[in-house]
Chain A
């Protein structure tokens, strides 16, 4: 392709340049149904309140667990894989839930506490129709926060066998939280899942989601606070 170069007779101020060839427009090869709207024309809020049986979720979740179980050699690897499976969902949920906030009061979470409250309330309510049970800050480390769910909905029908008692399948939800935090600009080191139900008569399935933010996030938070934000 010919490379246009500014001729000497052009204005002196124009530097010589090499034009980048215009990008070929993206040609989609997808076929679309003739009698239906594409997914881009459908209203995003249409499926906000549709319900499906918990059983269907349970069977699909089980399929996911079994699939990763067969490819893992340790309990922590299964949890890690489940975490990675939930990660992209968290990223998508952030956009979707912010989009669905009522227009007048919608704000972007810019502080750690706002983000965690968004997760504890809005995200939990969108996924599980109720808010999480508690939100706590660690007393020993300033970058650790805990979200507590007494009875994670995803674990409703799952009983962990004794030889795998460290496994908590809510690592999937942990991945969703991690994805959401990272996408919101609050990078995390990890979101780990701990079963705190041992010996708890009322809530044997109590789960703690431990969110560990990166140092840079905490520093930024301090800086905002210091400048009166």
Chain B
């Protein structure tokens, strides 16, 4: 299963994906985060960024991206429904991330009942050459790549899986790894419309 997903990812990336220089993406994402940090300030202050609000906004932006990106993904890769959450994890890491940002994070730390896993990012193009502001708060409060959590959440919701994605560590914060925990909340089963007698 693992190698099949890797093969699909590699093949789609090579032949069916238009490419652009990664630095443009890094710079554009940086612009977005910087803009949010300027616009979202703690109430009653002028320049004090409200990092929690920035995190939430990045997640919301990612969610809207994910809703659309999933159709793109399904069309390009021709995949159908995954039968279980483990397969989903492989799809996200080996195909999803590969086809969009050309990285394959590792899947690890499966929970006992297989409903939560960690994605470990060896490299993160969004945060290349980024250093958080030295204001004593950014490193404790901001999750720079939080848009990725929203993307996964939005994309999964469109294929009937409700999940929660959160970063648990980030090298930008001084941690040793960049890891995201993805947890399955529930599968949204097809519901027949209620009987209208």
Please tell me whether chains A and B touch each other in their complex, using a CB distance cut-off of 8 A.
Answer: yes
Asked if residues B171 and A52 are in contact (CB atoms below 8 Å), the reply is no
A39-79 interface bits toward B, Cβ cutoff 8 Å, 1 = contact, 0 = none? 10010100111111111110111111011000000000000
Interface residue B99 (Cβ < 8 Å from any Cβ of A): yes
Asked if residues A31 and B173 are in contact (CB atoms below 8 Å), the reply is yes
B103, closest chain A residue (CB): A52
Interface residue A197 (Cβ < 8 Å from any Cβ of B): no
5 A-B pairs with C-beta separation under 8 A: A47-B128, A47-B129, A50-B22, A60-B28, A67-B32
Asked if residues B132 and A127 are in contact (CB atoms below 8 Å), the reply is no
B133-184: which have CB < 8 Å to A?
A: 134, 136, 139, 147, 171, 173-176
Contact (A61, B136) CB under 8 Å given A42-B129, A129-B21? no
Candidate in B23, B26, B32, B175 with the most chain A CB atoms within 10 angstroms: B23
A6-65: which have CB < 8 Å to B?
A: 28-36, 38-39, 42, 44, 47-57, 59-64
Interface residue A126 (Cβ < 8 Å from any Cβ of B): yes
Size category, A interface: 35 or more
Interface residue A137 (Cβ < 8 Å from any Cβ of B): no
Contact (A35, B176) CB under 8 Å given A30-B132, A63-B32, A64-B28? yes
Complex Cα gap A66–B148 (Å)? 18
For A92, what are the chain B residues with a Cβ–Cβ distance below 8 Å? 27
For B69, what are the chain A residues with a Cβ–Cβ distance below 8 Å? 55, 59
Asked if residues B68 and A59 are in contact (CB atoms below 8 Å), the reply is yes
For A156, what are the chain B residues with a Cβ–Cβ distance below 8 Å? 18
Interface residue A89 (Cβ < 8 Å from any Cβ of B): yes
Contact (A54, B174) CB under 8 Å given A30-B132, A88-B31? no
* Nearest CB of chain B from residue A121's CB, rounded to whole Å: 15
B30-43 interface bits toward A, Cβ cutoff 8 Å, 1 = contact, 0 = none? 01101100000000
Asked if residues B19 and A52 are in contact (CB atoms below 8 Å), the reply is yes
* Nearest CB of chain A from residue B165's CB, rounded to whole Å: 17
Main secondary structure of the interface of B (DSSP, over half): helix
Complex Cα gap A34–B177 (Å)? 10
Q: A53-B20, A56-B101, A63-B64 known; 10 other A-B pairs, CB under 8 Å?
A: A29-B139, A30-B131, A33-B176, A39-B131, A49-B21, A52-B101, A52-B125, A54-B20, A59-B65, A86-B31
Interface residue A99 (Cβ < 8 Å from any Cβ of B): no
Complex Cα gap A39–B173 (Å)? 13
For A66, what are the chain B residues with a Cβ–Cβ distance below 8 Å? 64
Interface residue B72 (Cβ < 8 Å from any Cβ of A): yes
Complex Cα gap A31–B130 (Å)? 13
Size category, B interface: 35 or more
* Nearest CB of chain B from residue A158's CB, rounded to whole Å: 13
**Which of A's residues lie within 8 Å of B, judged by CB?**
28-36, 38-39, 42, 44, 47-57, 59-64, 66-67, 85-86, 88-89, 92-93, 126-129, 153, 156
Pick the contact of A33 from B61, B68, B171 — CB < 8 Å? B171
Asked if residues B139 and A64 are in contact (CB atoms below 8 Å), the reply is no
Asked if residues A29 and B32 are in contact (CB atoms below 8 Å), the reply is no
Asked if residues A126 and B29 are in contact (CB atoms below 8 Å), the reply is no
Asked if residues A39 and B129 are in contact (CB atoms below 8 Å), the reply is yes
A85, closest chain B residue (CB): B31
Asked if residues A55 and B100 are in contact (CB atoms below 8 Å), the reply is yes
Contact (A28, B134) CB under 8 Å given A53-B100, A60-B28, A64-B31? yes
Interface residue B74 (Cβ < 8 Å from any Cβ of A): no
Asked if residues B19 and A54 are in contact (CB atoms below 8 Å), the reply is yes
For B102, what are the chain A residues with a Cβ–Cβ distance below 8 Å? 50-53
Pick the contact of A57 from B20, B134, B136, B173 — CB < 8 Å? B20
Interface residue B192 (Cβ < 8 Å from any Cβ of A): no
Interface residue B24 (Cβ < 8 Å from any Cβ of A): yes
Complex Cα gap A214–B69 (Å)? 43
* Nearest CB of chain A from residue B68's CB, rounded to whole Å: 7
Asked if residues A52 and B61 are in contact (CB atoms below 8 Å), the reply is no
B76-121: which have CB < 8 Å to A?
A: 99-102
Asked if residues B174 and A52 are in contact (CB atoms below 8 Å), the reply is no
